[in-house]
Amino acid sequence: MARKSPQAKATSSEVLECVQQNCPSCGKPMWNEYNNLRRVRTLKGVVQLLLKIRRCQNKSCERYRIKYRPEQEGSWALPQQEFGLDVIALVGALRYQEHRSIPQIHQQLRNRGVEVSERSVTYLLERYDELVALWLSDQSRLKAITKKQGRLILAIDGMQPDVGHEVLWVIRDCLSGEILLAKTLLSSRNEDLAALLLEVKNTLDVQIDGVISDGQQSIRKAVEVALPGIAHGLCHFHYLKEAAKVIYEADRHAKKELKKHVRGIRQIERSISECDQATSEVVRGYCLAVRGSLTNDGRPPLDASGLKLQERLSLIEASLERVAKKGAYQNP
């Protein structure tokens, strides 16, 4: 599709020279025959690259007059792509780590000064998926890593950025931290997940000592089918989450009971209308403090809401007692 708007002006420039200046085939020097200009949109602005293109002039060489581009060009952007690799990496991180939608990613890129359309964001996400697939398909690298350590502890989990879309299933080795397999599936049936586990098992041919997951029923059945007899446990996060359920329920009940003791804030605020201004401001301040304590929840189980509310109400009560002792406030 033809460009409908002028290309953005460059905010900086870079000159890229060929590191290899001798022909890789015949070994004779390659001439700097011409230059190419290329603009790349990055997170730091639009960069204009000046590419020094070289060619072998040896007529008997098999690479005669074949252009040789600067090696560093590939670290800026993919071939024939306008956006830099840093933009593609950010799009992938926002999509799969923070579960952002395409419009949300588009808005965040615009906020960072990257002029891009929503359709281009979709294309960038496709490029990210292709790069990840290419990295994961390097079986020789994965086999060398897993063979050296001699065993695997697999972690399997599914990520669904948007409800109703395909789920990205990832199988990772907990010992090396390497991602062994990543595929999108339309369903999460145990047969489909078992096929993923078997693919990893047959491809790498290394002893599997255990599997870690969130305990989803389909994953449990898949492990039983694909890896019978292999230990299967919950990850630390889900294990602690399950263990903290009893504490969470007790804390939630305590918070509900505490709220019963501080009801009637609205009636108190109405009753101070006939008081003098100084007294009204003091009482209103305490009422706002109580309201803030009720609405400022913690993040269970590590930051219990009930305990947090009890601590704040205790501080408010202590402050009221100090004020009452000084005689600064008389109950209206």
pTM: 0.52
DSSP letters spanning 97-131: TS---HHHHHHHHHHTT----HHHHHHHHHHHHHH
Q: Domain ranges for the chain, please list them.
A: 12-76, 87-133, 139-240, 246-326
Q: Which two tokens stand for residue 61?
A: 């060489």
Q: How far apart are CA 286 and CA 269, in angstroms?
A: 10
Q: How far apart are CA 245 and CA 32, in angstroms?
A: 69
Torsion of Cα atoms, 274 then 278 then 283 then 289, to 10°: 140
Containing 283, the helix (H) or strand (E) segment is helix 277-295
Q: What is the predicted pLDDT for the residue at 282?
A: 79
Residue 290 · residue 284 · CB < 8 Å: no
Determine the Cα angle at 240 with ends 166 and 300, to 5°.
90
Pick the CATH number of 139-240 from 2.40.37.10, 3.40.50.720, 3.30.420.10, 3.30.70.20: 3.30.420.10
For residue 6, what is the DSSP state? P
Q: What is the predicted pLDDT for the residue at 332?
A: 44
Per-residue pLDDT of the chain (332 residues; tens, 9 = 90+): 455 666 778 889 999 998 888 998 898 999 998 999 999 999 989 999 999 999 999 999 998 998 898 988 888 988 888 999 999 999 998 988 888 889 999 999 999 989 899 999 999 999 988 888 777 777 888 888 888 888 899 988 887 655 556 777 888 888 888 888 877 787 778 888 999 999 889 888 889 999 988 888 889 999 999 999 999 887 776 667 677 777 777 887 888 888 887 777 777 777 776 677 777 787 778 888 887 777 766 666 666 778 888 888 888 888 888 877 776 544 44
